[in-house]
């Protein structure tokens, strides 16, 4: 049995060029996304992965990230959702699911599973991505990784809390929240 080796803090986020669903408007549905976009715009990147489209836990997370889209944008952060499903499956799911029609961030399609494999986040049995969230700094270095099993949804508020803490470039104590004092050395 093979083991996952998830890329972790301090590693450079891998190069990628993937199709993504960015709209439901005819002839404007798809665009190629690369890891260079956030770097060229001097932005942070939050990329979150889910196992499969047309499932039950996944849309609850995707909808919650979408509700908080402006929070990520206010933090100068590019938000990308991803799975190993195709861009056509993503588009069909968005059209089919009420909570996904108005998404404001791209749904990346890693149909070759090459990016998920390089990130070390593929379930060895089903060959689908775990529920993984990466926070990547503007230089392309991973600063935070959170991995959930296939059946447990993540906490978007915690992703924002950690992003806030990382952006302070200070020492932040347990349960620290934006606006609270950081630690002095």
Could you report the per-residue pLDDT of 77-128, keeping only the tens digit for each?
999 999 999 999 889 888 888 888 888 999 999 999 999 999 999 988 888 9
pLDDT 10s digits, 115-161 = 999 999 998 888 899 999 999 999 999 999 999 888 888 999 999 99
145-153 long-range contacts (CB < 8 A, ≥24 apart) are 145/6, 145/7, 145/8, 145/9, 147/6, 147/121, 150/51, 150/123, 150/126, 151/57, 152/57, 153/57, 153/60, 153/61
For residues 16, 139, 50 and 72, what is the CA-based torsion angle, rounded to 10 degrees?
A: -130
CATH number of this structure's domain 11-167, picked from the four choices 3.40.30.10, 3.40.50.720, 3.40.50.300, 3.30.565.10: 3.40.30.10
Active site residues per annotation: 58
pTM of the model: 0.92
* Angle 68-158-175 from CA coordinates, rounded to 5°: 135
Domain ranges in the chain?
Answer: 11-167
């Amino acid at each position: 049995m093979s083991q996952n080796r998830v890329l972790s803090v301090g590693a450079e986020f891998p190069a990628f060029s993937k199709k993504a669903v960015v709209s439901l408007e005819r002839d404007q549905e798809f665009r190629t996304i690369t890891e260079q976009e956030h770097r060229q715009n001097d932005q942070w990147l939050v990329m979150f992965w889910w196992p499969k489209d047309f499932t039950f836990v996944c849309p609850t997370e995707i909808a919650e990230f979408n509700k908080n889209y402006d929070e990520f944008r206010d933090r100068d952060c590019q938000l990308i959702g991803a799975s190993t499903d195709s861009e056509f499956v993503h588009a069909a799911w968005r059209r089919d699911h009420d909570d996904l029609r108005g998404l404001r961030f791209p749904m990346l399609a890693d149909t070759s599973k090459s990016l998920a494999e390089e990130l070390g986040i593929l379930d060895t049995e089903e060959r689908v991505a775990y529920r993984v969230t990466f926070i990547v700094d503007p230089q392309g270095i991973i600063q935070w990784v959170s991995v959930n099993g296939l059946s447990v949804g993540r906490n978007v508020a915690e992703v924002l809390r950690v992003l806030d803490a990382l952006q302070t470039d200070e020492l932040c104590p347990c349960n620290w929240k934006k606006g609270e004092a950081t630690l002095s050395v």
